[in-house]
Amino acid sequence: MVREPEDKRISRGKNFSKERRARHIQYGALPYRIAETGSLELLLITTRQTKQWIIPKGWPVKGLKPAKSAAREAYEEAGIRGAISAKPIGAFSYDKRLEENGFTVPCEVRVFAMSVRRQLKSWPEAYERDSRWFEPINALSALKDEGLRDLIAVFVERTTGRPCR
């Protein structure tokens, strides 16, 4: 049985620690759906340059609450619409390479679960990224970022009631 995710607890990936607290905040969406078979599926997208699998994420949008910023990123990067959780389900840290100067900055990504209702045929970054629906175990295998993997594993375990490792 698949349950809606609980917002009460926030999971933090292994790379998230006091020493590594990021100075820059981003908001991300963890897109999911229930397949016709009743199983949970997760949508991942590729980065523009390295083509590694990630979730939609980006900088805060002025005038939008964090969850709405995450939903906007999900639309722009993956062409999806749906219901997004009001509170984050977790956070992970990573080093963001800035395109303009090549420097990296530490970022904390606060992630919101997004129940996908629609996937559009065209969207702003459709020609810059790939997107694919994964079974949870395959999504974890596709991700390189350990903190994001941990966050997703906890989400899947809470949502399905089954371990995902």
Q: 161 and 1 in contact (C-beta within 8 Å)?
A: yes
What pLDDT was estimated at residue 21? 53
Residue 149 lies in a domain: yes
Which H/E stretch holds residue 70? helix 66-78
DSSP 24: E
What pLDDT was estimated at residue 9? 46
Residue 113 lies in a domain: yes
Q: Which domain holds residue 142?
A: 11-160
What pLDDT was estimated at residue 33? 97
Strand segments (E) across the chain? 11-12, 24-34, 40-46, 53-54, 57-58, 80-84, 90-97, 104-119, 131-134
| CATH code at position 120 | 3.90.79.10
Among 111, 119, 93, smallest CA distance to 152 is for 111
* Chain centre to alpha carbon of residue 131: 12
Residue 135 lies in a domain: yes
Structural domains of the chain, count: 1
Residue 2 lies in a domain: no
Q: 45 and 53 in contact (C-beta within 8 Å)?
A: yes
Q: 66 and 29 in contact (C-beta within 8 Å)?
A: no
What pLDDT was estimated at residue 23? 77
Q: Kindly give, in sequence order, each residue whose CB lies less than 8 Å from that of residue 158, ignoring residues fewer than 6 positions away.
A: 3, 5, 6, 9
Residue 1 lies in a domain: no
The amino acid sitting at 71 is: A
Among 120, 111, 37, smallest CA distance to 77 is for 120
What pLDDT was estimated at residue 59? 94
pLDDT less than 50: residues of the chain: 1-4, 6-10, 15-20
What pLDDT was estimated at residue 1? 43
Residue 73 lies in a domain: yes
Residue 6 lies in a domain: no
Backbone angles phi, psi at 18, to 5 degrees: -60, -40
Residue 165 lies in a domain: no
Q: What is the pTM of this model?
A: 0.85
